[in-house]
Structure 1
Amino acid sequence: MHGVKRTRQSPEAIQARKQRERAKIDEHRALAAQVLSLKAANDWGADALALTTRLLATNPEFYTVWNYRRYILLRGVFPASSPAQVNTLLNDDLAMTTSALRQHPKVYWIWNHRRWCLENIPDGPGDGAEKLAWKRASWARELYVVEKMLDADPRNFLAWDYRRYVLASSPDRRPESTELDYTTRKIESNFSNFSAWHQRSKVLASLWAKGEHTGVAVKDAEFEFIKQAMYVDPYDQSAWLYHRWLVGAGEDREVLEREIAVIEELREVEPDSKWCLDSLVHYKRLLIKHDPENAEALGKECLGMLSELERIDTFRGQRYRDLAAGIREG
């Protein structure tokens, strides 16, 4: 890097570093061989569990070892433990994976093990709400953990997927309107957060299916919200893909014409935005079924924009030529 003074290492220092790296690799290979040997021998003991902890700390993507760890817990440790002890053991594993996720937030197998832990928390003592006490505490903490992960990386798609799992599985369901507010905050802090837009579409689709959060005013407000994102960064795909989802199959002609006008207005300011052009082609082709008398004129407009797209977005030139051929044939 510019301005950073480089320190030249001596041949001896380089050799020493290489020896340390080789030693770490040899140690890892020996530990992996030992763990896999215990697995082949169906060893479900506490010593084997401790070895999987050591191995996973250095290689959290070793999914075979995660599977082996779960077998040890299910077949060796849990049967000899009380429900309170099982709960403590699972909480220990949740703490272990929390630490691992700080270093490896996009390793699927860590998130997968957390799911398994939550699904195996035993019922507490007593009746009714008391029996659910341990589970409620764990699930509530889990939502807090995943929110912290999303604070660190708001676009971590594995964390978003896990969040959906937690919200759907928690014994204490929270209103979907609360989750809608959460996506609003995440999107307003970064309009290019595709995962937050995707989550928003899931929440809205669920609410609409239940007949909630409906009405023209609600959808108009959503279009206004997405318009802000499109105008802030007309070159980012996240908002455009959400806009296409919101428009849907183009059954509402009034919405189609209104949104076409919005995008054409933006195009005047950003003539080289491929997403403006691509969306206009898409929506004007949808408009043809509502306005067959102007099909030829709309088709010509689309062909002109596809020609522009070929110039702007050369990597997808064949796609635009194929679309143009379909318009000419249709």
Structure 2
Amino acid sequence: MSDYSSDENDDYVLYKNRPEWSDITPLAQDDNEEPIVAIDYTENFKDCYDYFRAIVQKKEISERALELTQTAANLNPANYTVWQYRRDILKGLDKDLHEELEFVEKIILKQSKNYQVWHHRKVLVEWLKDPSKEKYLTEHVLSKDAKNYHAWQHRQWVIKTFKLYDGELDYVDLLLKDDIRNNSAWNQRYFVINNTTGFTEEVLRQEIEYTLSRIREITENESAWNYLRGLLLHDKAGLSNNTTVKAFVEELYESNNRSPFLLAIIVDMCLEQVGAGGGDSNYSAKRAVELCKDLMEKFDTVRANYWQHMLDSIGSESGEGTSGN
């Protein structure tokens, strides 16, 4: 199947001038007599979609209808009705779906943030039960935009549906080596472990060590800190009782590191200890108040209102002084 845009093709012939379409009466879009905002469609666009509406009304399943949907999809890849009707035709004509995969791949590589083209591909893969090209395609897209939501969504779907977890953590490692702040890659790491081994005691220990080593590289990396928090949700000891994490954060703090993410996790560790009735005097309401003030006034001023809110909450629960002034 060719890939072209009718607005860019000098040899393009309007459907109204094609003899094989002479039996079809085009159906114009109803924009009312006085539309609030009139869209200035190109002649090619209006011509194509007038004929598209006509064949949908007729429920025509034919080769020419399939070709028309190709033109319509190239003109507007985000049109849900075009893709749905195209799928009806593909089924009705029993077309080679591998050819369709090639067609939609070309559009995805040009329109990688378009939900409809990814959905169309997903349906094709479901019909074929063939995911063999999906990881490669998403890697191609992610090599140009490592945080493309649609590519990640498609990748997770195909991995989970067809159990394609092998090698995925190695791929995540490559992405993190390229950009350690890639939140999508951290999310994928969690997704893979959560759906394979799960966060057993040994896996949790390994992942905490891995994450702390990454944080040590760049302590201002919010993505790694968030991943650490996610890991500790699986730790029965809680946020403030993991000895490895406690030793790590206190070592950083004593070295005069004042990353807002470091201070924030210590605040939460303090609040967890206070909420549990104490037990570790190093994690007190008083310390939480001091750190919130530091965050509000010096280290995280962008979120000063949030830290003032935290101060007020701590004060109401513990009786500690909370004035930010």
The CA RMSD measured in Å over matched residues stands at 2.8
Q: Structure 2 regions of 5+ residues with no counterpart?
A: 1-38, 318-325
Q: Residues 23, 288 of structure 1: CA spacing in aligned structure 2 closer, same or farther, 3 A cutoff?
A: closer
- Structure 1 gaps, min length 5: 1-21, 79-85, 122-134
Q: Distance in 1 between matches of 2:236 and 2:200?
A: 17
Contact kept in structure 1, 2:274 and 2:283, CA below 8 Å:
no
148-157 vs 198-207, which moves further: 148-157
Alignment of 1:259 onto 2:259: no
Contact 1:256 1:287 in 2 (8 A): no
* Aligned-partner residue type, residue 148 of structure 2: N
Residues 286-305 of structure 1 aligned to structure 2 (within 5 Å): 286-289=272-275, 292-293=278-279, 298-305=284-291
- Does the 8 Å contact 2:181/2:223 carry over to 1? yes
Between the two proteins, the alignment pairs up a number of residues equal to 277
CA distance in 2, matches of 1:327, 1:321: 10
Determine the C-alpha separation between the residues in 2 that align with 1:32 and 1:72. Answer: 17
Residues 1:194 and 2:183 aligned together: yes
Q: How does 1:155-170 map to 2 (within 5 A)?
A: 155-170=147-162
Q: What CA deviation, in whole Å up to 9, does each residue of 1:27-73 have, x standing for no partner?
A: 22332233233223322222222111112113211222112212222
Tell me if 1:204 matches 2:193: yes
Partner SS for 2:60: coil
User: Which of 65, 69, 85 is the equivalent residue of 1:48?
Assistant: 65
Match of 1:141 in 2: 133
Aligned match of 1:285: 271
**Letter of the aligned partner of 1:109 in structure 2?**
Q
The yes-or-no answer on 1:182 pairing with 2:171 is yes
Say if 2:267 and 2:288, in contact at 8 Å, map to a contact too: yes
CA distance in 2, matches of 1:67, 1:164: 23
How much does 1:278 deviate? 1.6
Structure richer in helix, relative to its length: 1
Check 1:107–1:269 CA distance in 2 against 1; reply closer, same or farther (3 A cut): farther
The Cα of 1:297 is off from its aligned counterpart by 6.1
* Cα deviation digits, residues 183-203 of structure 1 (max 9, x gap): 223223321121121111122
Contact 1:230 1:240 in 2 (8 A): yes
Task: Tell me whether 1:321 sits opposite 2:308 in the alignment.
Answer: yes
Task: Report the counterpart of residue 4 of structure 1 in structure 2.
Answer: none
Secondary structure of the residue that 2:214 maps to in structure 1? Answer: helix
Q: Deviations over 1:80-121 (max 9, x none)?
A: xxxxxx3x2x11211111111211112111110001111222
Residues of 2 paired with 1:222 and 1:293: CA distance?
26
> What corresponds to 2:211 in structure 1?
226
- The correspondence for 2:101, drawn from 94, 108, 114, is 94
Structure 1 residues 166 and 177, CA gap change in structure 2 (3 angstroms): closer
